[in-house]
Structure 1
Amino acid sequence: MSRSWLKIAACLTAGLYLAPAASSIQWPQGTALSPSSLPDTLLSAQAHPEEMVVAAVTAIRQDRLADADRLVDALLNARPNYRLAHLLKGDLLLARAQPLAGIGSAPPGDEKLDDLRQEANARIRRYSAPPPTDAIPANLLQLNSEQRHAVVIDASQSRLYLYRNDNGVPRYVLDFYMTIGKLGFDKNREGDQRTPLGVYFVTGHMPREQLDQTYGKRAELYGVGAWPLSYPNDWDRQQGRTGSGIWLHGVPYDTYSRAPKASNGCVALSNPDMTALGEYLVPDTPVVITPSIEWLAQNDWQNRRTAAQAELEAWRRDWESLNTANYLGHYASDFRSGKMNLASWKQQKAGVNAGKEWAKIRLDSLSLFSYPTRDGGGLLMANFDQDYQSSNLNTRSKKRLYFKQEAQNWRIVFEGSLG
């Protein structure tokens, strides 16, 4: 460990160790940490570094410094480039001379120490308040049969969750610590160092070899590889948001992980975690980035999903009926579709419907998302394949609708074709 990191370690505040009692920390798979012994699994090469960090902090809180030392040594042996582990080792060395409860505050403006403290707090927070794995994020209302997995990112908690599609019901698989933009979330413009909020889709995979060929030295930033996302999407462009190049990616090989806010807007995971997550990512995998996750019990989730499906079905039914007034009643006052506003949309649709004797509309491959916004107002996003047949026109296309709340009802604020 370098002298600079030893200096940082010696200045760690006592708050990390004087937090609520370790007995409140819950362990994955029910492996509670005994006050008198360490499970062999925690000292093995297969143990996850995050679990070992939390176990070490727990041991320090319980004044079991020998156990903490064993854990940190095992962690450094497995991950010698893990700076947070070096910080904990420095504290344990300092503890030989004086109680850790007496450690002084960090020097003002020590960004490296602040970053490590924030990372430690984010990781410990996940174990102090584990995710309700039997609940469902409200953002995932319906996945189509081709979307085998979905990702939900809790930007304020530095946590990424992976779900599988179990016959239409999202089921928890894994979760990981992750990093977002240096200035937080809600991206608006190119270079603002923020991570966007919204619903995006994986567009491909750039392995490290490809990154090296394309970006040269800069490829080091992305570690094992990158999975680009579809930012900006149609809603972002409608709102005037700019920028590009928002990816899921790894981190430089010289460090195990980065601070909660350390990227230029991308979402970054440790290289082992990104590799594990990448096994589930294919083009069109949904990635929802939200300020915070609303967890729903399955019955509540089903009710909300049914309500969203009913909104879309009412729109489809009224369109198919050729009742132009009812159909246009589904559109918001500030509706846009390309260059068309509500007035021009009404004029066009009235003219089209007047020339038809009948219409049949079928929606396939439907996916529904509660679209996150910073203010919590939220939107409803629907993606589907549209099969339109009428007395004088037959077409098939991919469509996307965004609904917003207007006068206590959901109204379509944007409609567009995909591809």
Structure 2
Amino acid sequence: MTRTILFLLLPLFLFSKDIVEVYRLHGMNGLEKMLDLELSSPAYWQKALQNHDIRYGFFDTPTDLLLCTKSKRELALYTINGHLQLKQKTPIIIGQAAGDKIREGDMRTPIGVYHIVARKTNLEKKYGPLAFVTDYPNRFDRIWGKNGHGIWLHGLPPGKEGEKNATKGCIAVDNQTLLHLDRQLSLDRALLVISETPLQEVSEETMRHLLAFIYHWRYTWKYNLFNEYLENYSPRLVFQSVHDFNYFSKYKERVFEKNRNRKKTLRFSDLKVVPYPNSLGKKLWYVSFHEYYKSGGYIFSGTKKILVEEKRPNHFKIIVE
């Protein structure tokens, strides 16, 4: 499989003397390392992003993106498949209290990035014909001490759709709009981004540097460059719910030492990178991907989600893993 991918990528380099020389001297492993390094270059991503509409993020695979803007009381559905297409825009009703949701019963609609984890029908009439269940509080919410549950995107009581002007924290739309949304939305590829103000569009410069950072992190991980690997993380890192960078550093040092002489396989696919709205005053990025990792007899295959902070323009650190 790796050989096939490398063969398909070779035309990108036009069989330059450099790539042929790397292959002559170091074989396919050397060639693979060279290509992995290329992925960590902003120059590579400048070319790769030419056919991507990255105004609201980067998506490897088709995605249904729901943008909820609380200040405008508006929900927009975009389909993304390289290009961004607006499918629907509708007024909404949100929690009766202003601000980000912090605790159970505060009547606020949360701010952040959420997955839709279920579709419910046969509900009480006050919820309309159906409801989409979000994963609030997600892992990041819980790290920040937020609690509560049951944040849904739902409908309204039949015959009273014009009477309600607030919820207890959910997002509500009129029933016909909800049914139309239901026909267009694929739950397994949907992402809900809730922000207080309209989401700022992402610049090409920022996205290419962020993607280069993600693949530099991968490169240092795959090739056992321990000190460079640690530099990708914030000293305030939260790792497996532990707020202790020294614990993380020592744990990873043991793992790297154990795998020092082992060849690693590390692949990222289904990469999603979107701004993460928050009430902390930070510029954050939500990054999720399917990870395939193999080293020795250990294999991991599953979804990974991290949070990246941009402390200053085009300089990033992982703050949650």
1:224 & 1:137 partners in 2: Cα distance? Answer: 34
The equivalent position to 1:150 in structure 2, one of 33, 58, 65, is 65
Q: Does 1:235 align with 2:140?
A: yes
Conserved 8 A contact 2:54-2:204:
no
Conserved 8 A contact 2:112-2:195:
yes
Provide, for residues 380-412 of structure 1, a one-character-per-residue CA deviation record: whole Å limited to 9, x for no partner.
111111111224533222111101134663111
The offset of 1:223, in angstroms, is 1.1
Q: Secondary structure at the match of 1:202?
A: strand
Change (3 A) 1:367 1:279: same
Q: Does 1:191 align with 2:105?
A: yes
Provide, for residues 292-317 of structure 1, a one-character-per-residue CA deviation record: whole Å limited to 9, x for no partner.
12353xxx644333222112111101
Q: Does 1:201 align with 2:107?
A: no
The equivalent position to 1:346 in structure 2, one of 223, 228, 249, is 249
Give the aligned partner of residue 235 of structure 2: 333
Task: Figure out how many residues of one structure are paired with residues of the other and give that number.
Answer: 264
Conserved 8 A contact 1:365-1:385:
yes
Q: Secondary structure at the match of 1:203?
A: strand
Change (3 A) 1:313 1:268: same
Give the aligned partner of residue 315 of structure 1: 217
Give the aligned partner of residue 414 of structure 1: 320
Change (3 A) 1:141 1:271: same
Aligned positions of 1:157-306 closer than 5 A:
157-166=72-81, 168-207=82-121, 209=122, 211=123, 219-257=124-162, 262-284=166-188, 285-296=190-201, 301-306=203-208
Q: Give the letter aligned to residue 255 of structure 2.
A: V
Q: Does 1:141 align with 2:45?
A: no
1:137 & 1:158 partners in 2: Cα distance? Answer: 24
Greater fraction strand: 2
Q: Give the letter aligned to residue 246 of structure 2.
A: A
TM-score by length of 2: 0.77
1:171 & 1:304 partners in 2: Cα distance? Answer: 22
Deviating runs (4+, > 4 A) in structure 1?
A: none
2:208 & 2:163 partners in 1: Cα distance? Answer: 40
Conserved 8 A contact 1:324-1:353:
yes
Change (3 A) 1:224 1:283: same
1:388 & 1:405 partners in 2: Cα distance? Answer: 27
Provide, for residues 303-354 of structure 1, a one-character-per-residue CA deviation record: whole Å limited to 9, x for no partner.
3332221121111011112011000111111111224321111001111111
1:327 & 1:295 partners in 2: Cα distance? Answer: 30
2:191 & 2:307 partners in 1: Cα distance? Answer: 16
Provide, for residues 244-291 of structure 1, a one-character-per-residue CA deviation record: whole Å limited to 9, x for no partner.
00000001112233555x000000001111111121233341010011
Q: Secondary structure at the match of 1:252?
A: coil
> What is the RMSD of the two structures over their aligned residues, measured on CA atoms?
2.0
Change (3 A) 1:380 1:227: same
Change (3 A) 1:301 1:257: farther
Conserved 8 A contact 1:198-1:371:
yes
Whose relative contact order is higher, 1 or 2, with alpha carbons under 8 Å and at least 6 apart? 2
Q: Does 1:355 align with 2:258?
A: yes
Q: Give the letter aligned to residue 400 of structure 1.
A: K
1:185 & 1:144 partners in 2: Cα distance? Answer: 32
Change (3 A) 1:305 1:259: farther
Task: Say which one has the larger Rg.
Answer: 1
Change (3 A) 1:254 1:185: farther
2:67 & 2:54 partners in 1: Cα distance? Answer: 8
Change (3 A) 1:276 1:376: farther
Change (3 A) 1:258 1:179: farther
TM-score by length of 1: 0.60
1:141 & 1:286 partners in 2: Cα distance? Answer: 11
Conserved 8 A contact 2:143-2:241:
no
What are the ranges of 5 or more consecutive residues in structure 2 without an aligned counterpart? 1-52
1:224 & 1:283 partners in 2: Cα distance? Answer: 17
2:128 & 2:251 partners in 1: Cα distance? Answer: 51
Provide, for residues 101-129 of structure 1, a one-character-per-residue CA deviation record: whole Å limited to 9, x for no partner.
xxxxxxxxxxxxxxxxxxxxxxxxxxxxx
